[in-house]
Amino acid sequence: MTTNTPPPSRRSTKRSPSLEGLALAALLVLPVFLYGAARSGSEPLTILLLVLMALLMVGLIVLE
Amino acid sequence: MPDTTTALQFALALSPIVVVLVLMIGFRWGGAKAGPAGWLVALAVSVLFFGAGPALLAYSQMRALLLTLYVLYIVWMALLLYNVAVEAGAIATIGAGIVRLTADRALQLLLLAWVFSSFLQGIAGYGVPIAVVAPLLIGLGFSPVLSVTAVAVGHAWSVNFGSIAASFNALIAASGLPGEILAPASALLLGITCFLCGIGVMLLYDGLRGLRHGAPAILIIGAAMAGTQYLLAVSGLWNIAAFGAGAAGLAVTALVGRLPIYRGVASPSAPQGAASPTSRGGLPLSLALAPYAFLVVFVTLAELAPWAHTVLNSIKIQVAFPATETALGWVNQAGKGQAISVFGHAGALLVYASVSGFALYLATGHSRPGAAGRILSNTARSAVRSSIGIATMVGFALIMEQSGMTNAIAVGLSLGLAPVYPFVAPFIGLLGAFMTGSNTNSNVIFAGLQQQTAQLLGLSAPLILALQTTGGSIGGMLAPARIIVGCSTAGLVGQEGQVLRRTIVYGLVICVVIGAVGLLMAR
């Protein structure tokens, strides 16, 4: 019999919560810097930030 | 027939989607892992084959961020509302209330996954029905995968006229045709979809046996919902067509529950260990429903009271973007990205409902010490992972859209399958919703293309546009970003592939039926 439904169970993950929080923060912050770099017309900086974002994506896959 | 270049571009443009689908369905990757893979493939293809430059890609990611924040505002706050309800024992009480309304498991599932979720779609936006209703079903003892899948399939028909007809209004704006011209065919096709969604929920529950058992309810409730939506839409009241349809459905379901077939009869294959929920601490049903009632009141006020709408939407976050162009000549016009109304957004309305509900529980002695801390920490813990999946999925969808890849897929489909274009049209709508998780965005992206193709092929533009928006509505059920939203509140984070594997079958089959109806209507 179910009484107060507990929060549904969550699958364990190899990524720690703090690492996931950090990754999410980076995902939400990097586009702002990308926008700023593109707006300033600095192509090398824009490319560098895009590479950083690509590395973040690789990290998200590898660290799973 | 499309030339070789178009065919090659079509295949290349499709590759990120194929990669994500294969990883999620074939390899059971979660959205937080498949999303980054799709992002990398989309980036590589857009740079190497579609001529996307650094500035275009940078702006695409800022546009994606705005869309992501728009979605996450709802996801996080829907989780907050859910945790407020869980903490007070409201979910268990609501479950007990539904069991009292009907002991029939099939009707319980139909009531919540098909009718109540459609009612919520009528008043709230992106992902709210799935995020709110799936936990209620789990509380009733339905499996998490069935709960998310059934809601995703069940409410899809109400998306076009839902959220105060946001998608339909986008169709009107993008096509330039009056709503009176577009409404009849759209309401008819979505009415058919309504029945198909009800059938889908019962098939998900217990196959053909479940369908036989639920058929009378589907016919009666479906006629009430589809009929109400049609009448409201063709009367010019499309802004409240889904809301009215959901309300009619709820009223009729209460009557259907009194039919002998659904009264006190255990329906086939009630899950083992199914909940017979009771409330803890004697929380009355009226109090348990209070946060959801608050949500309905706030949403109705925000959308239907002009003064409230004006006040709440007075502060918006919006970013201006310059025009961009790929090396292949695909142009993105200058304009503003997704606007986020800080106090009028669906997420903000969820906050008001959560805070009001929590205050009510506090005032009536149904809140335990430390409740606020537990609510906040549970919300944050379960939201982070799904947020990563959503952010990366939206990121790669925007790379594809801004670099012309999404358009290449649509053009490939329309050129390659011109003789059966009415059959193809809903699949283009579905593609747009699959990519962005939004019927509104699908209409904005593809309405022009659909309209032009209809005119070139001598087909009825209102019919083709109706097929576009119907496909867009259906597409929500198999959009990874939307599924991640549902899984986030159902404890299925990282297991989105299990849900996608089921919804993709139902979504495609329903789309095939709608395409076939479109072919018949075009003749």
Digits of tens for pLDDT over chain B (523 positions)? 457 778 899 999 989 988 988 888 788 788 788 889 999 999 999 999 999 999 999 999 999 999 888 878 877 887 788 789 889 988 778 767 776 778 899 999 999 999 988 988 876 655 778 888 898 898 888 999 999 999 999 999 999 998 768 788 878 877 879 999 999 999 999 999 999 999 999 999 999 999 999 999 999 999 999 999 999 999 888 878 898 898 899 889 989 988 888 876 544 444 433 344 344 457 898 898 898 888 878 878 887 788 988 899 889 999 999 999 999 999 999 998 888 889 988 789 889 999 999 999 999 998 888 999 999 988 887 778 778 888 898 898 889 989 999 888 888 878 888 889 999 999 999 988 887 777 877 887 788 778 878 887 889 999 999 999 999 999 989 888 788 878 887 888 778 888 999 999 999 999 999 999 999 999 8
Please give, rounded to a whole number of angstroms, the shortest distance from the CA of B472 to a CA of chain A. 27
Closest CA to B69 of B310, B316, B431: B316
Q: Which amino acid is at B29?
A: W
Q: Where are the beta strands (DSSP E) in A5-55?
A: none
Q: Where are the beta strands (DSSP E) in B249-358?
A: 316-317, 320-321, 324-325, 331-332, 335-336, 340-341
Q: Considering Cα of B42, then B46, then B49, then B50, what sign does the dihedral take? A: positive
Could you give the CA distance from residue B185 to residue B171 in angstroms, rounded to a whole number?
Answer: 13
Tokens of B144: 């998490």
Could you give the CA distance from residue B484 to residue B134 in angstroms, rounded to a whole number?
Answer: 12
Closest CA to B389 of B27, B13, B37: B37
- The length of chain A in residues reads 64
A-facing residues of B in 383-412 (CB < 8 A) are 384-385, 387-388, 391-392, 395
| A58 touches B36 (CB < 8 A) | yes
A to B CB pairs, distance under 8 Å = 133
Could you give the CA distance from residue B430 to residue B486 in angstroms, rounded to a whole number?
Answer: 19
DSSP state of B266: P
Of A3, A11, A31, the CB nearest to B494: A11
Its pTM surpasses 0.90: no
Of B30, B59, B382, the CB nearest to A35: B59
Could you give the CA distance from residue B125 to residue B117 in angstroms, rounded to a whole number?
Answer: 11
Tokens of B489: 């509140």
Of A27, A31, A35, the CB nearest to B388: A27
